[in-house]
C-alpha cells in the first residue's frame, strides 16, 4: 500500500468537506474492499477519511418499512430480529456473503460499493478499463469463468460481487445520501451504472457524496422468499449465480413476484420481465421454467462463462419451487 494521510471524522459535515477539499481522498468504512485493493495498488488514494465514528448505526423497523444506517455492520443487520423476521431475503443474502469476520467489519454503505472480483481488475499488470480507463479488457478474450453474461459492454464484463445488493434490488431499496449538493434519495435500480463506455464509473455517486442510509418499503408480499447462491464451495465463496426471489401466492395463483440475480450481471440484476411472466399464472414448475428463461434472455456469453445461462435458469426454478413448497 502506498503512503496515505488519515483523518477520522465524527459527523457528516466534516467528512464531506474533507473530500471536497481533496479529489484524491475517499471514505473509509469497514475497509474490507478498500484496504484489500489498496494493498494490491489497484486503488491508490492519497487520503482516507475514516467515517466509522459517524453514528449512522441505527436500524429502525416499522409498519412503514425499514431504515438502515449506512454504518451498520453486515452481521448486525443480518441478525437483527425484526429484519430477519420481516426481510428474511436480506438476512439470508447477507449471511451467504463473505465470512463471519468480514461481516463483522463490512458496512451497509461500503457493501453498496463493493468492487468486482474480476481477476484482471485485481491484477495491475493486466489491461482493465475499470482500473485503468482506456487500457482495454483482458477478461473478454481471457479466462472469463466468473464474469458477467448480463449488462456487459465491449469494454467490461466484470460482475458486481455483493450478495446484499442482490437482495436490496429485489426489495426495491432506496439509497439515501448527503453530499455537497444536499440530500438525495436514489432508487436502487438507478444507483449502480452499467459499464457501457465507462466501466470505471460504477455508481451515480458524486465525489464527496456520503451514503447515510438505505431504506426499504414495507415487505408486503415479500416474506415468502429465498436467496439461493450457487458457488464453487459450500461457504465463503463468491456467487457463480445467485437468485433473490420472493413470491406472493393466493390460492394457486401468483399475485406478486420479485426476482433479482447475482454473479451474472455487471450490476445487481433485477429481472423485471421474469417477474411479469410469473404474475397471474399458476405457481407451478411450467410457469417457473418460463420465467427462468426470461431472466437470461439477451445474455451474452464468453467461452468460459456460457455455463451460467443454464445454471441461472435452474437456480431460478429451484428458488421459486422452494418458496412454493414452503408457502
Which parts of the chain fold into alpha helices (H)?
Answer: 12-20, 34-39, 74-78, 81-86, 88-95, 100-105, 108-112, 164-170, 188-191, 272-278, 285-295, 307-326
Minimum CB distance to other proteins smaller for 106 or for 128: 106
| Cβ-Cβ contacts under 8 Å for 130 (sequence gap 6 or more) | 116, 118, 121, 156, 158, 195, 199, 200, 202
Strands (E), the chain: 5-8, 25-28, 47-50, 59-62, 65-69, 174-179, 182-187, 210-216, 225-230, 241-250, 253-262, 269-270
- For other proteins, the binding residue among 12, 22, 50, 123 (CB under 8 A) is 50
Q: Which stretch binds other proteins (CB under 8 A): 98-106, 170-178, 244-252, 274-282?
A: 98-106
Q: Does 102 bind other proteins (CB under 8 A)?
A: yes
Minimum CB distance to other proteins smaller for 40 or for 194: 40
Q: Does 14 bind other proteins (CB under 8 A)?
A: no
Grid cell, residue 88, equals: 428474511
Q: Does 85 bind other proteins (CB under 8 A)?
A: no
The size of the chain, in residues, is: 327
The partner residues of 269 in beta bridges, in order of sequence, read 261
Cβ of 191: how many Cβ atoms within 10 Å? 24
User: At its nearest, how many Å lie between other proteins and the CB of residue 47?
Assistant: 9
User: At its nearest, how many Å lie between other proteins and the CB of residue 7?
Assistant: 9
User: At its nearest, how many Å lie between other proteins and the CB of residue 226?
Assistant: 17
Q: Does 105 bind other proteins (CB under 8 A)?
A: yes
Q: Does 5 bind other proteins (CB under 8 A)?
A: yes
The partner residues of 28 in beta bridges, in order of sequence, read 50
Q: Which stretch binds other proteins (CB under 8 A): 47-55, 85-93, 218-226, 270-278?
A: 47-55
Q: Does 236 bind other proteins (CB under 8 A)?
A: yes
Q: Does 44 bind other proteins (CB under 8 A)?
A: no
- For other proteins, the binding residue among 54, 68, 93, 98 (CB under 8 A) is 98
SS3 227: strand
Q: Which stretch binds other proteins (CB under 8 A): 48-56, 127-135, 207-215, 263-271?
A: 48-56
Number of residues that bind other proteins (CB under 8 A): 30
Contacts to other proteins by CB under 8 A: 1-6, 8, 28, 31-32, 35-36, 38-40, 48, 50, 52, 75, 79, 98-102, 104-105, 234-236
Amino acid at each position: 500500500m502506498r503512503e496515505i494521510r488519515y483523518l477520522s471524522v465524527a459527523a457528516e459535515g466534516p467528512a464531506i468537506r474533507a473530500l471536497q477539499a481533496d479529489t484524491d481522498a475517499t471514505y473509509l468504512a469497514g475497509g474490507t474492499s478498500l484496504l484489500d485493493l489498496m494493498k494490491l495498488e489497484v486503488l491508490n488514494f492519497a487520503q482516507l477519511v475514516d467515517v466509522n465514528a459517524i453514528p449512522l448505526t441505527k436500524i429502525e423497523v416499522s409498519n412503514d418499512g425499514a431504515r438502515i444506517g449506512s454504518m451498520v455492520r453486515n452481521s448486525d443487520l443480518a441478525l437483527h430480529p425484526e429484519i430477519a423476521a420481516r426481510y428474511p431475503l436480506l438476512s439470508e443474502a447477507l449471511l451467504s456473503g463473505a465470512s463471519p469476520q468480514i461481516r463483522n467489519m463490512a458496512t451497509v454503505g461500503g457493501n453498496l460499493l463493493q468492487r468486482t472480483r474480476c481477476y484482471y481488475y485485481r491484477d495491475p499488470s493486466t489491461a482493465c478499463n475499470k482500473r485503468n480507463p482506456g487500457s482495454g479488457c483482458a477478461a473478454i478474450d481471457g479466462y472469463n469463468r466468473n464474469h458477467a453474461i448480463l449488462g456487459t459492454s465491449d469494454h467490461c464484463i466484470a460482475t458486481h460481487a455483493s450478495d446484499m445488493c442482490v437482495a436490496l434490488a429485489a426489495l426495491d431499496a432506496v439509497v439515501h445520501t448527503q453530499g455537497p449538493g444536499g440530500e438525495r434519495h436514489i432508487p436502487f435500480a438507478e444507483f449502480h451504472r452499467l459499464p457501457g463506455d465507462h466501466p470505471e464509473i460504477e455508481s451515480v455517486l458524486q465525489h464527496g457524496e456520503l451514503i447515510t442510509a438505505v431504506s426499504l418499503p414495507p415487505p408486503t408480499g415479500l416474506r415468502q422468499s429465498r436467496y439461493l447462491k450457487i458457488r464453487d464451495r459450500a461457504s465463503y465463496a463468491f456467487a457463480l449465480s445467485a437468485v433473490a426471489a420472493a413470491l406472493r401466492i393466493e390460492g394457486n395463483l401468483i399475485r406478486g413476484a420479485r426476482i433479482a440475480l447475482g454473479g451474472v450481471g455487471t450490476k445487481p440484476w433485477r429481472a423485471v420481465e421474469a417477474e411479469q411472466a410469473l404474475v397471474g399464472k399458476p405457481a407451478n414448475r411450467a410457469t417457473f421454467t418460463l420465467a427462468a428463461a426470461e431472466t437470461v434472455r439477451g445474455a451474452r456469453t464468453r467461452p468460459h462463462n456460457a455455463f451460467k445461462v443454464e445454471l441461472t435458469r435452474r437456480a431460478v426454478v429451484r428458488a421459486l419451487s422452494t418458496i412454493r413448497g414452503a408457502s
